[in-house]
Amino acid sequence: LVVGVGGIFMPSYRGSDDYVVTPFPVVQGRFKGVTFRPRAGGVALDLIPEAQEAKVGFALGPVVTYSGNRARRIKDDAVRRAGKLNDAVELGVSAGVTAYKVLNPYDQLSFTADVRWDVAGSHKGTTISPSLTYMTPVSRAALVTLNVNARHGDGDFNRYYYSVSSEQSLASGLPMYRAKKGWDSVNVALMGAYDLDANILNGGLSVFAIGMYGKMLNDGKTTPFTRLRGDADQLIGGMGVSYA
């Protein structure tokens, strides 16, 4: 089991060019055959036990995430006048496949896809998030992870976050805009972890850092919240400490 906490420097909302610092937790590991895998603002559970020395593994289980996008800490005056949104809690299913010993005896390459539905009554929509992850140690003390992921939102999801209604337009001065379903973002992230006693095999304290570049797409890019008041290019950086 790995638990950790860190601080992350991120846009104040999806598509913003204003940045805030916020804390974030990390939970990862395996307990009695159930694997915990972190998600942005949540966690996915893999209920399929992995066989020893398996070259290919499969994952299936529930996933839950939380999002406070445009719910608080909005720095842009026009976006703030458009009104705050409600917090979203998404619950769904995660499935994937992992190949082990791809380039060396200790690495792994995973493809996963999450399908999540809003259960908090905010956007009332559905998202699909595929992800490709490569993880490998680079020494006995250090581990690196490269991840590429994207998100597709249905009409309810994209309209909630990217449309500008007549009331929002009147309050903010932004032009009216109506979003439709489609891919709203793609991200590339690199994370590194270093064990403080130089041995990742025996647990203990580690420090980690993460950097991510994201690109808003389609309505995520052309919405006035991004096009006029923000930036389609999104940068995220963070660091923290964990205990295994």
Residue type, 216: M
Residue 138 has a pLDDT of: 96
Helix, strand, coil shares of the chain, percent, nearest 5, are: 15, 55, 30
Residue 137 has a pLDDT of: 97
Per-residue pLDDT for 49 more than 90? no
Which range among 33-37, 52-56, 144-148, 202-206 shows the weakest confidence by mean pLDDT? Answer: 52-56
The label of the residue with tokens 């992921």 reads 149
Retrieve residue 241's tokens: 């400490």
Arithmetic mean of pLDDT over the chain: 96
Mean pLDDT of the region 4-15: 96
Residue 94 has a pLDDT of: 98
Helix, strand, or coil (residue 189): strand
Which pLDDT band, with edges at 50, 70 and 90, does 52 fall under?
confident
Helix, strand, or coil (residue 42): strand
Q: Which residues of 67-79 are buried (b: 16+ CB within 10 A; e: fewer)?
A: bebbeeebebebb
Residue 237 has a pLDDT of: 97
Q: How far apart are CA 236 and CA 189, in angstroms?
A: 9
Q: How far apart are CA 171 and CA 69, in angstroms?
A: 19
Retrieve residue 196's tokens: 């403080």
Mean pLDDT of the region 207-220: 98
* pLDDT tens track for 83-129: 999 999 999 999 999 999 999 999 999 999 999 999 999 999 999 99
Residue 51 has a pLDDT of: 74
Which range among 26-35, 58-67, 101-110, 130-139 shows the weakest confidence by mean pLDDT? Answer: 26-35
Q: What is the pTM of this model?
A: 0.93
Residue 188 has a pLDDT of: 98
Helix, strand, or coil (residue 122): coil
Residue 50 has a pLDDT of: 78
Per-residue pLDDT for 192 more than 80? yes
Per-residue pLDDT for 154 more than 90? yes
Q: Which residue has the higher pLDDT, 40 or 94?
A: 94
